[in-house]
Structure 1
Amino acid sequence: MWKLLNVREIFTAGMILFAVIDIIGNIPIIIDLRKKVGHIQSEKASVVAGVIMIVFLFLGKEILNLIGIDVNSFAVAGAFILFFLALEMILGITLYKDDEPETASIVPLAFPLIAGAGTMTTLVSLQAEFEAINIIAAILINLIFVYIVLKSSAKIESILGSQGISVIRKVFGVILLAIAVKLFAANIQSLFS
């Protein structure tokens, strides 16, 4: 099992997940949630998001098979989701509007903010390219980072300022757009062959 560990795969999968989760870009949302509901349960949100991601990593294909969807179709659909998420990040627009959350622990943070549709799609797609152990390592590294950001979101906001957060969000938006195009190109051929 340890022989399957690959630093390059962990780094690549980690960067893809980092761009999809976009915890830095979500700092304004996190700060807004903290203002509305007071305390954010960082530990609980991080653990629940991790459990959701790891369960979906192993059971995602079975769930898809159960409802009659193949991985390539799901990956192409996911490419569209990532594409629109990237457009939101780059253009600073909101295409998807959710109801205002009443609490800020599991429901708005762990799901769908951290482990949302884009993350689920990405995990299923990563399975085709990387070993599961490397994806799990990438998930854990991202969760540590998510926890740190959730714990210190107010400090990060004061250090980066709104301009800094905006620049980082746009950079990761471009990376996410490139990932969406690659994901679409890699899986659309399989649908027609």
Structure 2
Amino acid sequence: MEFLTAFDFKETFTAAMILFAVIDIIGSIPIIVDLRRKVGHVQSEKASIVAGILMIVFMFVGESMLNLIGIDVNSFAVAGAFIIFFIALEMILGIQLYKDDAPETAAIIPIAFPLIAGAGTLTSVLSLRSEYSGINIIVAIVLNIAFVYLVLKNSGRIEKVIGKQGINVVRKIFGVILLAIAVKLFATNIKELFI
């Protein structure tokens, strides 16, 4: 019951926007379209469900996994701030700092992980856990997964409507938002390390 009373619309909205920017599913439309062209079919339902489960499970067991190897959540959040910072730079400057091998199939591996629930997303989920209530993060994850599913299902249509230029504009806007989030996350958690 305490879990449900902790629900806060503002926290949920902020967490949802952070995850939306990190997942960057709109910016991934060209990759999804290319995958669809190569392999013929993208398993939208499966990819969305697996990505959602990965994020929620990591939110609950991520901290225990870190404790097992002797890392506290604040240190992980600071590391997460760096990852988010570099993702934001990629989005704003249109550069690629990290390059994955081109996937050969459009099964769960390239779409659910690492495209949706990659290192940046999982780091963000755990970083959010240090600041927000669990129920708010879960609702934010569910909202993002629903949106991801819609985008995966209609990626070809969306690319035609928005166009490559539109996708680039959206990426740059969310890159700036992500950069600000990375700075805030870093500032909030770095203080805890020196107390």
Bin the TM-score by the shorter chain: over 0.9
Q: What is the match of residue 81 of structure 1?
A: 83
Contact 1:42 1:105 in 2 (8 A): no
Q: Tell me the TM-score normalized by structure 2.
A: 0.96
The alpha-carbon deviation at position 3 of structure 1 amounts to 2.1
Q: What amino acid does structure 2 have at the position aligned with 1:15?
A: M
Asked if 1:31 is matched to 2:14, the reply is no
Q: Tell me the TM-score normalized by structure 1.
A: 0.97
The alpha-carbon deviation at position 15 of structure 1 amounts to 0.7
Q: Which sections of structure 1, spanning at least 5 residues, go unmatched? A: none
Q: What is the match of residue 154 of structure 1?
A: 156
Contact 2:77 2:127 in 1 (8 A): yes
The alpha-carbon deviation at position 154 of structure 1 amounts to 0.3
Q: 1:26-75: per-residue Cα shift (whole Å, max 9, x none)?
A: 11111111111110000000000011000001001000001111111111
The alpha-carbon deviation at position 4 of structure 1 amounts to 2.2
Percent identity between the two aligned chains: 70
Count of matched residue pairs: 193
Q: Which sections of structure 2, spanning at least 5 residues, go unmatched? A: none
The alpha-carbon deviation at position 100 of structure 1 amounts to 1.2
The alpha-carbon deviation at position 105 of structure 1 amounts to 2.2
Q: What is the match of residue 72 of structure 1?
A: 74
The alpha-carbon deviation at position 9 of structure 1 amounts to 1.4
Q: What is the match of residue 125 of structure 2?
A: 123
Displaced runs of 4 or more, over 4 A: none
SS of 1:129's equivalent? coil
Contact 1:23 1:149 in 2 (8 A): yes
Q: What amino acid does structure 2 have at the position aligned with 1:126?
A: L
Q: How does 1:39-188 map to 2 (within 5 A)?
A: 39-188=41-190
